[in-house]
Structure 1
Amino acid sequence: MLSPSRQTRRALAPALLCCTAIVPGPIAAQDFVRLPDLVLEAGPIADGETIVAEDIGAGGKISGDVLEIPSTISVVTSAEIEQRGATSVEEVLNYTAGIVTDSYGADDRFDYFSIRGFDAYTYRDGLTLGANFGGIREEPFAFERVEVFKGANSAVFGISDPGGAVNYVTKTPRDERFGSVYGTVGSFDTSEIGVDFGDALNADGTLSYRFTGLVRDGKREYPASRNDEVFVMGGLSWRPTDRSELTLIVDDLDRDGVPGSGGFPLGYDFDRSSTFFGEPDYNYRGTDRTTVTLIGRHDFGNGLRLGGTARWSDAETDFGYAYISGQTDTLAERSYFGSDGHEQVAIADIHLEYDRRFGAVESTTLVGVEASRFDDRGLSFFGPAPSVPIADPAPTGAPDEVPLFADTETERDGRAIYLQQTLDWNERIVGSFGLRHDWIDVTERDGIAGTVATNDISATTGRIGLTYRATPDLSVFASYAESVIPAGTGVEPEEGEQVEIGAKWRPFGGGTLLTASAYDLSKTNITRTNPVTNLAEPIGEIRVRGVDLEAKAEIGAVELIAALSYLDPEIVENGTGGNVGNRPARVPERLGSVWATYTLGGDGPRGDMTFGLGLRYSDGYFFDDTNQVGESDSYVAVDASYGYALTESTELSINATNLLDEKHVSYGGFYADFYNPGREVRATLRHSW
């Protein structure tokens, strides 16, 4: 819902343009009266008040007006997250061009999404979290916005896949009093309460705090499931002068969930909510992570600024479930799989930025260093589980013991230096380039075999781009960028590159952003484990060509988010030769989505009402690279929302995902089918101040 101040600011530009068109034509020169100059200083609109972001931050590594950045960028603000009622990262990204979500169905272990055909690496405040597949599910309520950078980005972030990267921007304290509290009840016996508030701690506002937290008790749509979470985050900011700021953030994520349904036998159509082939007493996914983040900046004056971010985290995870690993005519054959992990991460980045004008050219130079240390210990367990009848899959009880089959310790030390240079000629032509060199030392210890393997990686990546601002509201761009990922010990890193051209249009100076881009990207040295030698081998290359179209607009009482993507993925090289020319697994060719809301203004005692409706489309994709195992169906999912303003500061909202309970197999064809998430409805009462 738009606040009056935001409606006013968004309406100013088109209103003033309209006013110039209604001045009577036949006015003689002597009749003209000069009015005082009107100066408007609306200032930036906060992410909590708009779905259309105008700039990016990326932890200070790449920042500025989105029109001037020579690549495709999508930003999901906290206002959009709240409007759509998104409670997971996958739901946050559902309406972003080029992104595939839910490709593993109702599997709740990780945040599953890919960008332009490749799994994405994720970052928080510009510092890496790692690959989304195998990582910790993040809590969207912790973030002010989610920034999506399409294409190769290693010259900016370091390790990343060529399809794109996702940067989470943490909520930080403000120098004013604010807050909100909400309560939610929803499907699957779910209840949740959350708060987000803060204020200045002294009279001059140099010290401020923020507290964000939620408690959830609930289940998932399938039997023997849990969806419990406690998340708390506190922040303290100190601004001794208007040139310096230091922020400390501490958060703890304690989640007790389930790994997924365990799958369903092939060739059947089961009810997701009543049939369960897993084992209720061996079905868990736990996460306990504590994170400490320090963010600082200082402006020395004369165009010189210092910035930096440091993060330490300690995470413990456990996981266990029984899943379908085969079947006969009457029996579902099962296996147990489990894991225990402990990871400690320390990472820091510090950079200097210098602005200087040389005649008509504005120069911005950014140089920085990054250092990191990752220590990970992982135990994996695997063994046979009792089979159950397909017609009546009754539980058999938790296993006394599941055999240990992997015990690994991984240490990774990283160091990097980077340079970003931007040259702006008369605010019309913006050229930028970046270089980054990473040194990564990896040591892997196999506790079962008693062996130690090492790998020392040294890689340079770059990017170059050019933006032309045809008008203050319209820009066109072209860019080339590279990516790199360590693939393990004994093999060369996986490398990627992308060429992209596109255009961005922000009519009326704000409130609407339209983006169109075309790209050609590839990834080489793709590594797979050879089943004969059980060693990693680089086997080939995958190329994806495509087009992304995206629109976000606020037009009076209507807000619109739309995306359309076409992908042409192809396996160009393969070690066995058998898959050349095929489409890579889990990459559809067409994606589309639209989300629209309409606000009906209040009348007398009736408050504002907001109606929202969304459609998400994906065509089918293959389950593996051979294109022979199976293929998903195309689908259209419907989401909806309704909001009613009880008072100026209190609102009741209802959100539904997959409203029509559309059902398809998101992943399967091997031993089991995994269905997409079903319908979920949530009602929320929120009070803000």
Structure 2
Amino acid sequence: MSLLALTLSLGTAWAQASTTLGEIAVEGQGGARRVGSTTLPGGGLPASTIVRPGQVVTEDPRGPVDGFVATRTSTATKTNTSLLETPQSVSVIGQEQIRATGAQTLTQATQYTPGVYSGVFGNDARLDWFLLRGFVAHDYGLYKDGLQLLNYGFNYFRTDPFGLERVEVLRGPSSLLFGSGTPGGMINTITKRPTAVPFGYVEAGADSFGNAYGGFDIGGPVDSSGHWFYRLTGIGRGGGTQIDAVDADRIYIAPALTYRPDGATSFTLLTSYQKDWTGVTANFLPYSGTVVPNASGLFIPRSLNVGDTRLNTFRREQAFIGYEFETALDATWTIRQNARYSFSQAFQNSFIGQLGYLAGTNETQLARYQFRDSSRVNLFQIDNQAQADFSDGLFRHTALFGVDYKNYQLHDNQASGYQFPGVPALDIVNPVYGVTPLPVSSYLIDKDSFQQLGFYAQDQIRITDRFSIIAGLRADFASTSVDKQLAPLNSTRRQDQALTYRIAGVYNFDFGLAPYVSYATSFQPQIGFDGRTGATFKPDNGEQIEVGFRYAPVGQRWILSFAAFDLTRSNPLIPIAPFITSFTQIGAVTSQGVEAQFVATLAEGLNITASVTAYDIKYGSNTLPEVAGRTPTATPQVLANVFADYTFQDGPLRGFGFGGGLRYVGSSYAVNNTLQARLVVPEYLLYDATIHYDFDNGIRASLTGANLGDDRFVSACQDASNCYYGEARRILGSISYKW
């Protein structure tokens, strides 16, 4: 019998005894919420929220955020926990903040978050790129509804923020609950769910690159009995980018359905389909000509299409189908099962830089080659949880027991064209397009496999009314394999096991201060083999000590948080060859620093978010001699930002709002090898702004601007031949209507 069937049958008695529970859950979910003069669609608790008798639930961590300030999260503990009782650094970005900043990508949505460097590799129409506390997070650190989005090779899942209810950024190791993952943290995207009250919402807009969109979001009850609820979200985008002759087109549709047979049980089906057509916009450019003038005294134009108008193609189709099942068996036990199948297939065929300038051209001719990749991903995951809320006579417990499994399969075919005379160089002053594509040959045809089975247990123990601790332990059993079709003798197999754990404590003063301390570890199996030794990659391991506090005065709608951390990652992958395609494992990387964030939603119509991050990250002395003690490339160590939005509440300007923000990113390095010149990528400061007007009839018009000064900046360099321009000035106009 499946766990779903088992829990349905076991929950019958509790459900029959709790027939009024559904009414409790639905009460208070009435129409759209008002924040200042802004009304959001689909407000209140999701239709799947289970509320026990006697509970007062004002926020579901899977539901909307009221303004900019969230009060609860499930990412850090997998239980519905107050932020003030969460002993780890967490930031929550709600749909209201996403809309206020005009974010159209996950990169843009997280740019005002501490510890996160978003858009590491520039303005990329294909992918989102992140660092968390200095460590790469776009590979193993992205999650969707608590289940991992594994991104490996050249096939990456991508999330459209229009389909999100909130984004939760958890910093530091999280392997206790989620298994394999980066020690820097995780970004968990929460999709929109069915609501108990009917609503409708449509929005349209266009930006200064000529990219326009139209979206809709509708939902509510399906039947009059209050058992079935639906939500349908969709968006279409199309038009230009900041790169000449490269468009970014997308369709996204996400049907969702919730079934509540009674007040103690809910089943929510979450599905989506997305298709993208675009090209390479994060060009691989040399340091000379982007960060500094080249030998001819020129800068490479930011809008230059390094590919070709006939050959700069990227296509992706992705689909998700999954469910969330929850039932309260009695006053103590709750059973949950979350599962999802994810599919993605991608194709890229482009002329790529990465080779620097053609010799003898005074740095006016960019050398190029042709790259083609065709890949397909199948990913299945299931997470079974049993939660027990009880007292042992001395302490209150929220105990969580779980078993999860993931199976990732990647079929990858990479090819390139270097044949003589090869791809002609591109003149950065007078580019000539229309080059005939080369015949390409595959240099890699691999089937990569990753499977992981994990068993975990966690206990949130309330020692007193003020002091609580969290302790947990996890055992993982992982296997990785690489089947090389072109070189079968180089195929690899590996089995790994690991124990990870966390112990933490938090004290809640009655005036709203909550200091905490935590220690946590992480475990991440790696796919592939060492470029120096030929051995299969060992898992990398992380450990972190974090101390911090949150301060949220009672009755106020603002929260101040601070964290200091000491994080070590053992067995990191260190690039050892051109094009960042070969790696070795040796030694460790340490990241030590501090973060602070202030978020407020005030009754006067003012929303604020501000943060600062400063850390020192470097390779240890036991790693490769040429990088020991050096800071990894493409890693700024100081980040600061502030964004404020104000809406008039009364008087003749009622409904009119305006705001703006500053984003500062410190300098980073383009080379970390002691045998080469220490090239620096300079710091930059960007200005954003917004104006908007909310009409009383449900219509809202807005105009947002990012990088208003149109500063030409380089977001990062991986080496002297791979630098990336950041986003140019982007003005976005939109109009929406809700009912």
Q: TM-score, normalised by structure 2?
A: 0.85
Please give the per-residue CA displacement for 1:184-239, whole angstroms capped at 9, x wherever unaligned: 12211111100011010111321010000001111111112111000000011000
Judging changes above 3 Å, is the alpha-carbon distance between structure 1 residues 369 and 522 closer, same or farther for their aligned structure 2 residues? same
Question: Secondary structure of the equivalent of 1:82?
Answer: helix
CA contact (8 A) 1:60 1:126 kept: no
Is contact 2:411-2:447 (8 Å) kept? yes
Corresponding position of 2:606: 558
Change in Cα spacing, 1:501 to 1:429, as seen in structure 2 (3 Å) is same
Question: Residue in 1 aligned with 2:694?
Answer: 645
Counterpart in the other structure of 2:444: 406
> Structure 1 residues 424, 131: closer, same or farther in 2, change over 3 A?
farther
Question: How many angstroms apart in 1 are the aligned matches of 2:85 and 2:424?
Answer: 59
CA contact (8 A) 1:176 1:205 kept: no
CA separation in 1, counterparts of 2:74 and 2:163?
17
Helix, strand or coil at the partner of 1:573: coil
Structure 1 residue 370 and structure 2 residue 407: aligned? no
1:173 alignment counterpart:
194
Counterpart in the other structure of 2:239: 218
Deviates more, 1:247-256 or 1:136-145: 136-145
Q: Secondary structure at the match of 1:130?
A: coil
Q: 1:321 aligns with which of 344, 350, 362?
A: 350
* 8 Å CA contact retained: 1:59, 1:125: no
CA–CA distance in 2 between the matches of 1:7 and 1:673?
A: 42
- Once the two structures are TM-superposed, the CA of residue 576 in structure 1 deviates from its matched residue by 2.8
Q: Do the aligned residues in 2 keep the contact of 1:212 with 1:232 (CA within 8 Å)?
A: yes
Match for residue 533 of structure 2? none
- One-letter amino acid of the structure 2 residue matched with residue 79 of structure 1: E
CA distances 1:248-271 after superposition (whole Å, capped 9, x unpaired): 111101111112253445234547
SS at match of 1:471: coil
d(CA) in 1 for partners of 2:222, 2:436: 52
Question: Structure 2 CA distance, aligned partners of 1:351 and 1:137?
Answer: 27
Give the share of equivalent positions with the same residue, in percent.
25
Contact 1:547 1:565 in 2 (8 A): yes
Tell me what 1:51 maps to. Answer: 68
In terms of mean alpha carbon deviation, does 277-286 or 429-438 score higher? 277-286
Partner Cα separation in structure 1 for residue 496 and residue 582 of structure 2: 18
- In 2, Cα distance between the equivalents of 1:263 and 1:411? 29
Larger strand fraction of residues: 1
CA, structure 1 residues 101+43, in 2 after alignment: closer, same or farther (shift >3 Å)?
closer
The whole-number CA distance in structure 2 between the counterparts of 1:536 and 1:132 is 14
Please tell me whether the aligned partners of residues 262 and 322 of structure 1 are also in contact (alpha carbons under 8 angstroms): no
CA contact (8 A) 1:108 1:258 kept: yes
Correspondence for 1:568 among 600, 612, 616? 616
Kept in 2: contact 1:261–1:276 (CA 8 A): no
Instruction: Report if aligned partners of 2:122, 2:282 keep a CA contact under 8 Å in 1.
Output: no
Matched, 1:502 2:548: yes
Aligned partners of 1:229, 1:531: CA distance in 2, in Å? 35
Change (3 A) 1:41 1:494: closer
Deviations 1:451-509 (A, max 9, x none): 33101111111111000112252100000000111123523211111000000011134
Answer yes or no: is 1:686 the counterpart of 2:723.
no
Ranges in structure 1 where 5+ consecutive residues have no aligned partner: 9-39
Q: Which moved more, 1:567-576 or 1:471-480?
A: 567-576
1:42-121 correspondence to structure 2 within 5 Å: 43-44=58-59, 47=64, 49-58=66-75, 61-120=78-137, 121=141
Quick check: 1:469 aligned with 2:471?
no
**Residues 371-450 of structure 1: pairs in structure 2 closer than 5 A:** 371-384=405-418, 385-450=423-488
Q: Is the counterpart of residue 539 in structure 1 residue 586 in structure 2?
A: yes
* 2:169 maps to 1:126: no
Name the SS of the counterpart of 1:156 in structure 2: helix
Task: Work out whether residues 175 and 206 of structure 1, in 8 Å CA contact, stay in contact via their aligned partners in 2.
Answer: no
Alpha-carbon offset, residue 5 of structure 1: 5.4
Equivalent AA in structure 2 for residue 343 of structure 1: V
Letter in 2 for 1:290: A
Cα drift, residue 101 of structure 1: 1.7
Residue 510 of structure 1, CA deviation: 4.6
> Separation in 2 of the partners of 1:658 and 1:602?
31
Would the alpha carbon gap of residues 223 and 369 (structure 1) be closer, same or farther in structure 2, given more than 3 Å must change?
A: same
Aligned partner (choices 332, 336, 340) of residue 366 of structure 2? 332
Which residue number corresponds to residue 323 of structure 2?
Answer: 294
Residues 137-156 of structure 1 mapped to structure 2, 5 A cutoff: 137-156=158-177
What's 1:17 paired with? none
TM alignment of 1:242-281, pairs within 5 A: 242-264=263-285, 266-267=288-289, 268=293, 269-270=298-299, 272=301, 274-281=303-310
Q: Distance in 2 between matches of 1:488 and 1:290?
A: 24
Deviates more, 1:384-393 or 1:429-438: 384-393
One-letter code of the match for 1:679? R
Q: CA deviation at 1:667?
A: 3.0
Q: What is the letter of the counterpart of residue 75 of structure 1?
A: V
Counterpart amino acid of 1:157?
A: F
> Shift of the alpha carbon at 1:395?
1.4
1:596 aligns with 2:613: no
Alignment counterpart, residue 656 of structure 2, candidates 601, 609, 622:
609
Post-superposition offset of 1:107 = 3.0
Please state whether the residue corresponding to 2:680 is helix, strand or coil: coil
The SS at the match of 1:176 is: coil
1:279-333 Cα deviation digits (max 9, x unpaired): 1211121110111011110001121000111001221011122122121314221
Partner SS, residue 49 of structure 1: coil
- In 2, are the aligned partners of 1:632 and 1:664 still within 8 Å (CA)? no
Distance 1:550 1:585 in 2: 26
CA shift in 2, pair 1:535/1:681, >3 Å: closer
Cα RMSD (Å): 2.3
Which 10-residue stretch deviates more, 154-163 or 485-494?
Answer: 485-494
Name the TM-score, length of structure 1 as normaliser.
Answer: 0.91
3-state DSSP class of the match of 2:554? Answer: helix
Aligned partners of 2:75 and 2:170 also within 8 Å: no
Q: Relative to structure 1, is the Cα distance of residues 359 and 592 closer, same or farther in structure 2, using a 3 angstrom cutoff?
A: same
Equivalent residue, structure 1, for 2:565: 519
Q: Distance in 1 between matches of 2:582 and 2:564?
A: 37
Q: Partners of 1:197 and 1:111 in 2: how far apart?
A: 27
Cα deviation for residue 672 of structure 1 reads: 4.9
Q: 1:510 to 1:491 in 2, by over 3 A?
A: same
Shift of 1:434: 1.3
**Other structure's SS at 1:232 match:** strand
Matches of 2:417 and 2:84, distance apart in 1: 54
CA distance, structure 2, for counterparts of residue 536 and residue 583 of structure 1: 17
CA displacement, residues 589-641 of structure 1 (integer Å, 9 cap, x when unaligned) = 2110000011123535x551110100000110012432735221111011111
2:732 counterpart letter in structure 1? R
Q: Distance in 1 between matches of 2:612 and 2:174?
A: 22
Q: Which is worse superposed, 350-359 or 397-406?
A: 397-406
Question: d(CA) in 1 for partners of 2:177 and 2:710?
Answer: 41
More moved, 574-583 vs 441-450? 574-583
The corresponding residue for 1:15 is none
Structure 1 counterpart of 2:88, one-letter code: S
TM-superposed deviation, 1:377: 0.2
Query: What secondary structure sits across from 2:257 in the alignment?
Result: strand
User: In 2, Cα distance between the equivalents of 1:499 and 1:133?
Assistant: 32
Moved more, 271-280 or 247-256: 271-280
Q: In the TM superposition, what are the counterparts of 1:191-210 in structure 2 within 5 Å?
A: 191-210=212-231
Equivalent residues of 2:36, 2:647 under 8 A apart:
no
In 1, are the aligned partners of 2:77 and 2:177 still within 8 Å (CA)?
no
The alignment partner of 1:71 has SS state of coil
Tell me which residue corresponds to 2:4: none
